A and B are shown apart, each in its own frame.
Chain A
Amino acid sequence: MSAESATLPVGTIVHGHGAESSHGSHHGSGHGHDPNVAHQFDDAAQQHESVLLGMWSFLATEVLFFGGLFCAYLVYRTTSPLAFTLASQHLNVILGAVNTGVLLVSSLFIALAVRESQLGNGKRVNLYLLGTILLGAVFLLIKGYEWTTDYHEGLIPFAKNFQIPEHNLDEMAHNATPAGRFKLFWVLYFFMTGLHGIHVIIGLVMFGIVMYVVKKRTQTGKSYSNLVEVTGLYWHFVDIVWVFLYPLMYLIHPITGGGGHH
């Protein structure tokens, strides 16, 4: 312990503050607190680590937030596999796959945007962010198309026209599966994809704001890489949620079987 404190570069640590902390929050006079570093931090490294950990903590919260829904999914799918299989067959596997691809490309764009922000190429950062926003919009459009189709087929449990298709009802009755579980699949599907969709929208709005900030800070020479990196983490998380949602919602087996109806 004492050896550790003896090896401390004490001078460098105290240096940032000893004299100037008396300025309170308005620094910038003379021997400078880095303008890119908020007053509560000592240096850029501490700030960087803090904002990253902040986002990781938030994502941990998000994992458990979606986790509660995955828990409900797990319980109902385990106890009523047939209802989930039958319900899932009404989803469009190909559109789901395309949407997964769209999100994966957007994740690549964000990864590249983070790279460019670390290198300080503000214009390229904004190019990639714009690409991500467009891809996010495509994702939402495809999702919207799917939801509209679901509505016309009477599969939205929150809508008045919800109706379990006759052949599905027959098969569930035949196998002593409660028909309510068929509806439950759709409740969970819309709740989870809806919540995911809200996260996508929030991401797109955030990227719009980030683009503005990056443009501003490119002109003033201030740092923006933390911002890009943190919002990027959020977006990758949104992608990961979809990576699990896709097989759980669309790829329930057997895809082509399902007792021979259709």
Chain B
Amino acid sequence: MNTHATHNSSDHHPHVMSVQMNLVIFAALMVLLVLTVVAAYTITGGWGILVAMVIATVKAALILAYFMHVRFGSKLQLLFAISAFFWLALMLGITLLDYISRGWLSIDGK
């Protein structure tokens, strides 16, 4: 079916997001910005980076889903967006695997 979806002009209805909705998302983003700064000053210790990254991820997700219309666009756009971050995670995760496992063996240089 996906072959024809794009050929069928009758389902060509770009989603128009209301002004109100745009403002709500924007407000949420600003709140998160304030939150991340406040958190940076108040949370000490190892949790800080985690909180900061979670907030940044939520912000990015809001921008992707609403401002970039992933929520209303085709599934393909969602797939493309997810693959990009999935591949990024592969690169970061596997590279980090090397660095954190260095020194696990008591052999010099391994």
- List the B side residues contacting A239 at CB < 8 Å: 63
Q: Is A39 an interface residue (CB 8 A)?
A: no
Measured between alpha carbons, how far is A248 from B56 in the docked complex, in Å?
10
Interface size bracket, A side: 35 or more
Q: Decide: B19 and A13 in contact? CB cutoff 8 A.
A: no
Binding site for A on B (CB under 8 A): 1, 4, 6-9, 11-12, 14, 16-17, 19, 22-23, 25-26, 29-30, 33, 36-37, 40-41, 43-45, 48-49, 52-53, 55-56, 59-60, 63-64, 66-69, 73-74, 76-77, 80-81, 83-85, 87-88, 91-92, 95-96, 99-100
Q: Decide: A115 and B16 in contact? CB cutoff 8 A.
A: yes
Q: Decide: A108 and B36 in contact? CB cutoff 8 A.
A: no
Which of B9, B64, B92 interacts with A43 by CB under 8 Å?
B9
- List the B side residues contacting A9 at CB < 8 Å: 8
- List the A side residues contacting B64 at CB < 8 Å: 236, 240
B93 to chain A, nearest CB (A): 10
Q: Which residue of B lies closest to A57 (CB)?
A: B80
Q: Decide: A104 and B60 in contact? CB cutoff 8 A.
A: no
- List the A side residues contacting B1 at CB < 8 Å: 4
- List the A side residues contacting B22 at CB < 8 Å: 108, 111-112, 115
Nearest 5 interchain pairs by C-beta = A45-B12, A253-B48, A60-B84, A247-B52, A56-B80
Q: Is A64 an interface residue (CB 8 A)?
A: yes
Q: Decide: A63 and B6 in contact? CB cutoff 8 A.
A: no
Q: Is A2 an interface residue (CB 8 A)?
A: no
B57 to chain A, nearest CB (A): 8
Measured between alpha carbons, how far is A187 from B49 in the docked complex, in Å?
21
Measured between alpha carbons, how far is A123 from B87 in the docked complex, in Å?
40
Measured between alpha carbons, how far is A44 from B53 in the docked complex, in Å?
40
Known: A75-B96, A225-B14, A236-B68. A251 touches B26 (CB 8 A): no
Measured between alpha carbons, how far is A254 from B26 in the docked complex, in Å?
28
Q: Is A256 an interface residue (CB 8 A)?
A: yes
A28 to chain B, nearest CB (A): 19
Which of A44, A74, A257 interacts with B44 by CB under 8 Å?
A257
Q: Is A206 an interface residue (CB 8 A)?
A: no
